Structure 1
Amino acid sequence: MSLALDRRLFLGLLGAGAASGLLPAWARAATPFNFQASWINDAEFMGYFLALDKGYYADEGLELTYQSGGPDVIPESTLITARADLTLTTPDTTIKAITEQGAPFRIIGAQYQKNPIGVVSLAKTPINEPRDLIGKTLAVPPVNVISVEAMLAANGIDKAQVNIVPYAYDPTPLIQGEIDASVDFTTNVPYTIELAGEEATSFLLYDYGYTVFNDTVVVTEDTLASRRDDLVKFLRASRKGWNENFADPAALPPAYADTWFKGTGRAVENEVYFNTAQQPLMEAEGGIFSMSEEAIAANIEALNAVGIKATRDHFDTTLLDEI
């Protein structure tokens, strides 16, 4: 058979495959898909890094563009301006945007079943529970003030009994004894404190009444309607990445020291600590990203307690049934 005939046969097979929808993945054009992360590149996003590097999104027919976040990135705004198809954010900010500003958002999954935000203190002067905060100075990022006040109220503590001061995600004031505790990611900051020669202790706001998800997966209603299949593909590939990552949470971060984690200024050991600590906060009976009816109800109750009018309609679990 001549080369020309071979080529015609090959093209003919492609045409037949296209007509039947059975083209192999390598022969189909990938669909662009933009993902906005909620923070800088750290272990919080390990599953997505792995899925990208292993080609799991490509296997699903997606050409994923990963967009790093940071202090100057407002994830929801990237959806409104169409710079992202999907982002990670928090239920309180998302639902406030829906109910107070008419934002067309829906929550389709939750990375963290239990919010990793908590109260961090030094082991030598521990704050072990909310009542230990009475009369103490607690540094809180502005975005978390509502959450902290809700946790205090849930435990019968008047917010006036706690000296709440601003916090800029720097544990130095805690280490130096200028404050008694801070509110930060319990999956990360204790390790930073240990590097400074102090032992840290912490508790989650989640365990004391503020029962909300974190890194909720958010899309616009238009994207949910028009790109449903692509969203299912994203969730499926991402779950595969997370499951593989958690098979050994200490193994993969060192492999990313000179790629995904390059330039963050943090030791890779910190990312190993982070990745290990977040596993029990993410895994659930229904799988990564799942949102059980009980968990959604707990979110709604906690948000309503601080005046955020959450309802079941803000959460769409139907895509999770397809992955």
Structure 2
Amino acid sequence: MLRPMNRRHFLGTAAGAAAASALPFRAGASGDPLKMQAAWINDAEFAGYFLAMDEGYYADEGMALTYLPGGPDVIPESTIIAGRADLALTTPDTTIKAIVEQGAPFKIIGTQYQKNPLGIVSLASAPINSPEELKGKTLAVPPVNVISVEAMLKLNGIDPSEVNIVPYAYDPTPLIQGEIDASLDFTTNVPFTISQQGVEAVSFLLYDFGFTTFNDTVVVTQEVLDTKRDQLVTWLRASRKGWEENFKDPAAWPPKWEGTHFAGTGRTIENEVYFNQAQQPLIEHPDGIFALTDDGIEKCLSALGEVGIVGNAEMFDTSLLAEI
């Protein structure tokens, strides 16, 4: 999931940014139509939806789902503002920031990741396993994520000046070559990428050290919530079923999609299997996939507050999950 995390200030560019990077996938020839905007290109991050489409879970619920892949030029919130999709998977910081600063009419109705996959990646030969161990080290961080890393450090009693933070361009080569000590990246994917170079990597999540945010939050506009509530509940139910089936054996499904959903991405099936296995504990929840608990919402809002994004529980609607 090597994605440029540049989804900021999107409402002014909704028309141009909402075009999908690949052709849409339509599941079910008839039924209630619903359009879903994914957060990134087709990879294991969206395995549960691929399974639900291919196994007919949406069609069985009477839904004709159109799945829109994402990409570096796709801002999911823009897609639903422009009316090109009914729901989107987003990062909660951009969504809540848009609600607070731009009055965006969004509601978060679920979350795919209970724990954000973003974390600190280092080499197993010189492991960094905690914020404390970052002191005196060189950490490469994408510019848009510096504020989140600094918040995580402060939450652990570390002055950011004690860590040499340098820009990161989503390329693990400097880490492999020893030019930096660690990087901020997606723990579900980058360690595998590094291992393909014959080097082992370790990682820890920002979430596990205080920066407790969701990721791939399920977002709709208030209008869609008001007019398509039953369809949204249906989507949540069928999608949850897809994820549950996927996680019964995370290694089983990615090979089935080599010539379909994963075709042309340039990623190996071994990579997608690693990804699918790594994300399972970050997605599953005792209350079911997509769960929004009061505790989880409070933790997410608290973490975002550390970076100056002050939201509230009214930005979430947990009632649809109760109807699944």
Q: Same fold (TM over 0.5)?
A: yes
Question: Can you list the C-alpha shifts for 1:110-163, whole angstroms capped at 9, x where unaligned?
Answer: 101111110000011111111221222212223322221210110112222222
The offset of 1:29, in angstroms, is: 4.6
Alpha-carbon distance in 1 for matches of 2:80, 2:141? 27
Give the direction of change, closer, same or farther, for the CA distance of 1:142–1:61 in structure 2 (3 Å limit). farther
Corresponding position of 1:24: none
Alpha-carbon displacement from aligned partner over 1:50-90 (angstroms, at most 9, x marks no partner): 01111111112221111111111111111111111111111
Do structure 1's residue 146 and structure 2's residue 147 form an aligned pair?
Answer: yes
Kindly indicate which of the two structures has a greater share of residues assigned to helix.
1
Cα drift, residue 31 of structure 1:
2.0
Q: Distance in 2 between matches of 1:122 and 1:54?
A: 39
Q: In structure 2, what is the equivalent of residue 102 of structure 1? A: 103
Q: Secondary structure at the match of 1:107?
A: strand
Q: Distance in 2 between matches of 1:145 and 1:96?
A: 17
- C-alpha distance in 1 between matches for 2:255 and 2:30: 33
Question: Alignment partner of 1:218: what SS?
Answer: strand
**How many Å separate the matches in 2 of 1:242 and 1:29?**
23
What stretches of structure 1 move > 3 A for 4+ residues in a row? none
SS in 2 for 1:229: helix
The residue that corresponds to 1:156 in the other structure is 157
2:204 is the alignment partner of 1:210:
no
Once residues 188 and 298 of structure 1 are traced to their aligned partners in structure 2, the CA distance between those partners, rounded to angstroms, is: 25
Counterpart of 1:110 in structure 2: which amino acid? Answer: T
1:36-63 per-residue CA deviation (whole Å, 9 max, x = no partner) reads 1101111000000001111111112221
TM-score, length-normalised on structure 1?
Answer: 0.89
Query: Identity rate of aligned residues, in percent?
Result: 69
Distance (Å, rounded) in 2 between the aligned partners of 1:318 and 1:151: 31
Higher alpha-carbon deviation: 279-288 or 53-62: 53-62
For residue 157 of structure 1, what is the amino acid of its counterpart? I
- Counterpart of 1:312 in structure 2 is 313
Query: Where do 5+ consecutive residues of structure 1 fail to align?
Result: 1-27
Greater alpha carbon shift after TM alignment, 229-238 vs 177-186: 177-186
TM-score (norm 2): 0.89
- Specify the SS of the correspondent of 1:103: coil
Letter in 2 for 1:85: D
Segment drifting more, 298-307 vs 218-227: 298-307
Letter paired with 1:301: S
Name the amino acid aligned to 1:257.
Answer: E
The residue identity in structure 1 corresponding to 2:62 is G
Q: Which residue pairs with 2:182 in the alignment? A: 181
Matched length:
296
Give 2:193's aligned residue. 192
What is the rounded CA distance, in whole Å, between the counterparts of 2:62 and 2:54 in structure 1? 15
